[in-house]
Every structure is written in C-alpha cells, then in structure tokens.
Amino acid sequence: MNAVTRGIRNAFRNIIRTSSIVIILGLSMGLALSMLIANKAVGDKIVAVKASVGNTVTISPAGFSNFSQVNNALTTSQLTKVNSLAHVTQLSENLTDRLTTIGSSQTSNPFGGGNSSSSNNQTSLSSPVTLNPDSGGGGGGRLFLSGGGGLPANFSPPISIIGTTAPNQINGTDITISSGKSINGSLDSNNSLISQDMASKNNLKVGSTFAAYGANLTVAGIFTTTNRGASNSVIISLPAEQRLSGQSGEVTSAIASIDSIDNLSSATSNIKTTLGSSADVVSSVDQANQAVQPLNSVKSISLYSLIGAIIAGGIIILLTMVMIVRERTREIGVLKAIGASNLRIAIQFMTEAVTLTLMGSAIGMALGAVAANPITRLLVTNSTSTGTPGVGGGGGPRVGGGGRGAFGFVRNNFSSIHAAVGWNIIIDGFIAAIVIALIGSGVVSLFISKVRPAEVLRSE
C-alpha cells in the first residue's frame, strides 16, 4: 500500500462525514457545471445570432415608430443617393400601409401604428388572423383594447399591404411561392402576392381579383413563409403602392445590402451622412447587438455564478482538509516519527482531497447534466422578459405585428437555446475539480509540514 492508496482509503474513513462533504461538493460542482454549460450555450447562441444577421443596413424615417403615426416618410430620390454609395450592392425599398375590410367595424386603432387611414384604404379581403387576446406575441395575435370591452361582432383586423422593390422577402424573411409566380417590384402593375392563409380565408386562387384602394388587384402568386405575421399581408410592387395609396415617391423603410461585413461600419456611416437627420440608420450588427443584449446579461450572470460556485467548492475542500488535518495531527506525528517525509504525507492527504472532490464532481456532473437546461432556460426567460425591447417591436405598418423585431426575435430564437453536456465540458469540469482539490489540499500541506514529530508524545 502506498500513499495514494492510503489517501483513497482515508477518504472513506468516516462514511457519514464523507457523504456529507460529497453531497455539499456535488451541489457546488453541479451549480458550477450548470453555469459553465449555460455560459457556453448562451455564448454559442450570441455568436450564431451575430453570424446570422447578415450585412444589411435598415433605413427608416427619423423618429419613426411602429406605434407612432408620423407621416415623415423618406423619398425615393433620397434613397437613390444611398443606392449609389460605395459598397451598397442592393437597396430594397418598402412602403407599408394598412387596409380595413369593407363593412368591418374598426376599433380605435387596436394594432397601433399605420401610416394612413383614409376612407380609400379599404379592401374586400378579410384578415385570416383569428384574434385571441390571450395568445401572446410573436405574430400579431395579442390585442390591447383601450378602455376595455369586447370587439364588435363584424370586426376584422386590418390587413398590411406592402409595396416593395424586393417582393421575395417580408421584413428580411424569405417567402416561398407555392402557386403562381412572383411579381416585379419595380414595375407599376396591379399584380399582387397573398399568403396561403389569406387565399384560403377569401377563397382566392391565382388569377382571382380583389378590391383595394378602390381598384382591382390580381392574385399573381400565393406564398408561404415562416414569418407568422406575414399571413396577414398583401405584397405589391413599390410603384403600385405609391400610386394606389397616393404617396407618390414616398418610402417608409429600406434595407441596404453591403458587399462585406468588413465594410458594414463605414457604409453605415456613409448612409447616415447622406441622409442626415431625416433618417434613422441601423446596421444589422447594431440590431444584433441590441438583440443579444439580454443574452449578454445571462452570460455575465452565469460567469459570475460559475466563479462563485468554483470558489465555494474550493473553500469547502480547503476547510474540510484543514479539519481533517487538525483531527489527525497525532497520526501525522506518528507517520513522521516512523520515517515518513512531509511530501509523502502531503501526497496522502492530497489524494484524499482529490478522491472526495472527484466523488463530489461525479454527483455534480449528474446534477449539472439534469439541471443545466432548466437553469439556462430560466435565466434566458427571466432576462429576456425583463429586458428592454429592441428595434422594430410592436405592430403597425411592419409586417408581423406584436412580438416581432429584435425583442421578439430574441425570445423566439432563445427558446431554441440548448444547453448540451459535451465530453469537453465533462473533462474540463473534472480537470477543474482536480485543480481545486490540489490547491485546497496544497494549502493544507503547509499545515502538515509544520506538525512536529514530537507531537506524537504530547499527552502520552
């Protein structure tokens, strides 16, 4: 039997004490592991979110809010200058508006926002959106009624109509043409794209017509999309929307594509300079940073908790070993008296500390593996639900309604955060545990070296 074997056996010398220490260490290690996993998962998500935002710059009229009704739209001529700037490869321009269903009773702007509400803004379409006041955000379901009360029986939610030069997307989300064909966003025609839900609700198919702004629009194509709010939308070309809504040359938003992420910052500055105070210019990186702000908080919390749990684990093992050494002072004296060196005794006690810590770590790993996901979810949910909504929240002229924008994007995306326990984390965890044990017991080695062999004769 050598010092290592004796150390391992000593770890089981007092089963009750060993069990207690191992459980406490296990809880500490479990928390540390959960935090390590949460930190890594959130970190990965932040990287993924930032990588997925692309090289785009969003341009909107200055002070434009989805909840405000200012009519300070940009103009096509202003944006033409932007299109000619260096590194801008493409510019998609949009003019959004809201149509009410002919014969529908309207509440006092239940969805907020919207650019105009003249009597001309009517359509024969009925919205496919089923209102459910308790359904929550993420696609236009939530409804707030000022003054309370119920909805009129013949109420139909307003429908978004988007005039765009890029009819293949809604708010950056690609659409898929399921029947018919797409339209030319630059050509002034009465052709339109409607969602599958809209077509079903109104019994429309490719070639059918419907009324809007007092004109007849033709269904050129029917689309599907992952953007839930887009089901309540009609897409037409930008010139057609400008003509039909009487907002000639006006644009409510534009998205500029930049040739490289490296040029994003300089291109954003150039666009800001070109448009001056008339526009708010936000790059996709800025949006991503706003979007991941709650995640950064979670990452910080998990990091501090991880450090705290590791320190707690270190203190537990240190105090345990101090207690054990004090209790076995005479035994240490005996070992020295019969020829053991300080190093040999220290190795024995270090092995004991490592054994206790590894047992605690094994329990901690199991706890961490079970608790990591719920803890991560809890941290993310709490952080995002108390966070400040980012750009683009709310409903109104932007397609998607309540819950969209950075904040909604964050919440929807973060529900997919999966805290996985990989081998690398387990190995890192065990290495960290051994280091903690060695540091804790290493300090104790100083106590051991100070025990005099003559201690063995004390109180004989």
Where do contacts with other proteins occur on this chain (CB under 8 A)?
A: 1-2, 6, 9-10, 13, 330-331, 334-341, 344, 452-454, 456-457, 460
In DSSP notation, 228-245 reads: GGGGGEEEEEHHHHHHHH
Compare residues 5 and 248 and give the one whose CB is closer to other proteins: 5
Alpha-carbon separation of residue 11 from 189, 336, 351 (angstroms): 83, 20, 8
Count CB atoms within 10 A of the CB of residue 39.
Answer: 22
Instruction: Kindly write down the DSSP assignment for every residue of 380-429, as one continuous string.
Output: HHHHHHHSPP-TT-S-TTSTT-TT-HHHHHHHHHHTT------HHHHHHH
The values of phi and psi at residue 187, to 5°, are -100, 130
Two tokens at 129?
A: 């959106």
DSSP secondary-structure letter at 351? H
Side chain identity at residue 281, one-letter code: V
- Asked if residues 385 and 115 have their Cβ atoms less than 8 Å apart, the reply is no
Q: Which is nearer to other proteins, 6 or 45 (CB)?
A: 6
Q: What's the rounded Cα separation, in Å, for the pair 313 and 385?
A: 32
Is the Cβ of residue 182 or residue 449 nearer to other proteins in the bound state? 449
Q: Render the burial of 117-126: b for 16+ CB within 10 Å, e for the rest.
A: eeeebbbbbb
Instruction: Tell the smallest beta-carbon distance from residue 6 to other proteins (Å).
Output: 8
Q: How far is the CB of 453 from other proteins (least distance, A)?
A: 4
Three-class secondary structure of residue 158 per DSSP: coil
**Smallest distance, Å, CB 440 to other proteins?**
21
**Residues 158, 164: Cα–Cα separation, whole Å:** 19
Q: In the bound complex, what is the minimum distance in angstroms from residue 325's beta carbon to other proteins?
A: 15
Residue 156 token pair: 């139909």
How near is the Cβ of 23 to other proteins at its closest, in Å? Answer: 22
**Beta strand pairing call for 233-237 and 159-164:** parallel
Q: Write down the least CB distance from residue 24 to other proteins, Å.
A: 23
Q: Which is nearer to other proteins, 311 or 454 (CB)?
A: 454
Question: Got the DSSP string for 295-350?
Answer: HHHHHHHHHHHHHHHHHHHHHHHHHHHHHHHHHTHHHHHHHHHTT--HHHHHHHHH
CB of 36 to other proteins, least distance (A): 35
Tell me whether residue 1 or residue 153 sits nearer to other proteins (CB atom).
1
Judged by beta carbon, residue 319 or residue 457, the one nearer other proteins is 457
CA separation (Å) from 199 to 196, 382, 433? 5, 39, 61
Nearest approach, Cβ of 326 to other proteins (angstroms)? Answer: 16
Nearer to other proteins, 444 or 456 (CB): 456
Nearer to other proteins, 289 or 329 (CB): 329
Nearer to other proteins, 276 or 339 (CB): 339
Query: How far apart are CB 421 and other proteins at their closest, in Å?
Result: 36
Q: Which is nearer to other proteins, 5 or 105 (CB)?
A: 5
Nearest to 252 by CA among 123, 406, 95: 95
CB of 331 to other proteins, least distance (A): 6
